[in-house]
Amino acid sequence: MGRDHLMPKAYIGVGGNLGDPIATVRSAFAALAGLPETTLLSTSMLYRTSPLGPIRQPDFINAVAAIRTPLAPLALLSWLQSIEHQHGRIRDGARWGPRTLDLDLLLYGDSRIVEDTLMVPHPGLCQRAFVLYPLYEIAPDLEIPGHGPLVRLLPAVAGQRIAVANLQQGTSGS
């Protein structure tokens, strides 16, 4: 424990809508807990949300995980992409398409990062109920770098469809 509080806290968006997304999201949580010298601090409930974009596809299961890690942001991103790949994610360039697993580095401490391959805070964070509500659940007092208190962002996404996932039902189809 000693130095854990000195390591950055990162928030990871977790979602998917192909195969068994509930099982996949749970498996992704376990994979995050297994990252080098990383502690899984908390996970949100699982939420069912409508997909973004014009492609007809099944609803997504989304959640947010909080971790404490010594991994630098770009190294963490590489690990996240490796976990996606292990779960059958194929990056075919289709934006907002269906996927087995999507892991997004939403926040990394209070850092603001602009790289070719990584932007933190995640650029869509403030416009997406499927990110803000699970994030609020596990970190209600969070300040979003460049945007202020998380709680102030919630009214802007209040009209987006999001519901706690029914874990007794199957999640594939439609």
Residue 89 is a catalytic residue:
yes
The catalytically annotated residue of 4, 26, 56, 104 is 104
Residue 26 is a catalytic residue:
no
- CA torsion through residues 135, 101, 20, 60, sign: positive
The catalytically annotated residue of 48, 59, 99, 128 is 99
The catalytically annotated residue of 4, 89, 95, 116 is 89
**Is the distance from CB of 55 to CB of 72 less than 8 angstroms?**
no
Distance of CA 91 to the CA centre of its chain: 17
**Is the distance from CB of 117 to CB of 105 less than 8 angstroms?**
no
Residue 99 is a catalytic residue:
yes
Distance between CA atoms of residues 63 and 12, nearest Å = 8
Rounded CA Rg of the chain: 15
First to last CA, the chain: 46
The catalytically annotated residue of 48, 59, 102, 128 is 102
Active site residues: 89, 99, 102, 104
